[in-house]
Amino acid sequence: MDREKTFLLILVLMLLALNYSFLDSALINLFDNSEYGLVERVIDGDTVVINGTSVRLLGINSPEKGEKYSKEATEYLESKVLNKTVRLEYGKEKFDLYGRKLSYLFLGTENVNLGIVLNGYSNFYFPSGKDVYYSEFKQAWENCLDKKTNLCEMSNNPCALCIELKELSYKGDKAVFYNKCSFSCDLSGWKIKDEGRKNFIFENFIFESFSQVEVKSGEGVNTQKVLFWTGETYVWTKTGDTLFLRDSEGKLVLWSSY
């Protein structure tokens, strides 16, 4: 028994002498939801390959290949992280439906994902619900609008001042717009987009003065008062979403979050 007590005493003294470095390391490994890796390839503006694994960047959604600013978004991300070691910080879910890791990327203390929004190469995007970084990303988007950079460039179409968003409802899965001007507006080629990949394009639509139109998911016959977002069972998510309305040149007319 004395031998066991002596052994325990020596063990305690050793831990004190080491300043609990072993325990500190164990606790850090237990609670730290991150890891490090080398960025080997940049696929597009919001996807990279790190240590042989595809990683989808959290908090952002950049244009698809072929869309406006897609090339610029990819080049910006390459300039920031390609062939560099970054820290990956995971969110609520570690993998998406395609098996890609979901992560924020950090260079030192710099949140790379946040910079992509700030420079207008992506809108903010939180499909699984708002996390601890949501407010920062929304603020980055608002700062981008102040600079009118890239995706944040505002429309100079005269009708951009006419269109109001009267209602955005995930329960009714609809968006209601109003033309407050005394003249009609040709919205052909204008686009509604959510935070993710869903798009609605106005086709040959003349928005009459002082009138209202409802855009909703589902199938139906389009009229002057109701347009259907076909091919989608739902558009607006319960956990929060953002509507972006852009003109035929891709410039921003209005946006609204809930």
Q: Give the DSSP H or E segment for 101.
A: strand 101-107
Q: Taking the model in full, what pTM does it have?
A: 0.84
Q: Are 184 and 208 in contact (CB under 8 A)?
A: yes
Which residue, 244, 188, 174, 249, is CA-closest to 216?
Answer: 174
168 SS3 class: strand
CA distance linking residue 235 with residue 241, whole number of Å: 9
pLDDT band for position 25 (cuts 50, 70, 90):
very low
Mean pLDDT computed over 191-210: 97
Closest C-alpha among 191, 190, 187 to residue 208: 187
Q: Please give the class, per CATH, of domain 34-151.
A: mainly beta
Mean pLDDT across 152-162: 98
pLDDT in tens, 67-95: 999 999 999 999 999 999 999 999 989 99
Rounded distance, CA 57 to CA 48, Å?
8
Span 154-257: which CATH code?
Answer: 2.60.40.1260
